[in-house]
Amino acid sequence: MSTAPVQTGSKRPSRFVEWLKTIVFYELLVGMKATMSHLLHYKPITVQYPHEKRALPDNYRGMLGLLRYDDGTEKCVGCDLCEAACPSRVIRVVSAEVPGEPTKRYSKEYYMDMTRCLFCGMCVKACPVDALGMSQEFEWAVYDKRQLHLNKQQLLAIGDRSFPVREKRLELQHPNVAFFNVSFGHVPQKPN
């Protein structure tokens, strides 16, 4: 008989506490405590934008740029894979053959409409020679959207600004490729 009053006595304070929490809106008070602590201890994080800029993450995808090798030649071989991979069809490549070397191609013209670009990076992944790169540039507010129809020279300028460190040509990276490449003029052809 001594155990029964203890159980009923322990249930009554919990019911009373629940009833009291319902009357004083306890959940609302807990939420207001978080709001008031933020309001009273608020420290603004202000960036003076034109003079100070946020540090962007490494995987930020900004404006696209065409890249060059360290000797200044363009990396793009005019294969049109970036044009085929682009889901919004913003890239247009006109390729041509190198005069006197029918096995080599280059991009004669390269156009990109940045007003429709999704910045997905699929063109960068599709490029077999890593001729495209996503830069960290994001300040491209213009009054006329026709200024965002970029040509080859503008894309090369973005690439030069954003990627100052350039890699060597493929022929100079791998000596075996350089020796067996038939397009080199100084390497004699194999005898038949």
pLDDT in tens, 100-133: 887 888 999 999 999 999 999 999 999 999 999 9
C-alpha distances in Å from residue 165, one per residue of 124, 135, 140? 18, 13, 23
Q: Is the pLDDT of residue 3 over 80?
A: no
CATH of domain 64-167: 3.30.70.3270
For the chain, what is the mean pLDDT? 84
Provide the annotated binding site: 76, 79, 82, 86, 117, 120, 123, 127
- What are the extents of the domains in the chain? 3-40, 64-167
Provide the annotated binding site for [4Fe-4S] cluster: 76, 79, 82, 86, 117, 120, 123, 127
107 or 178, greater pLDDT: 107
pLDDT given at position 1: 47
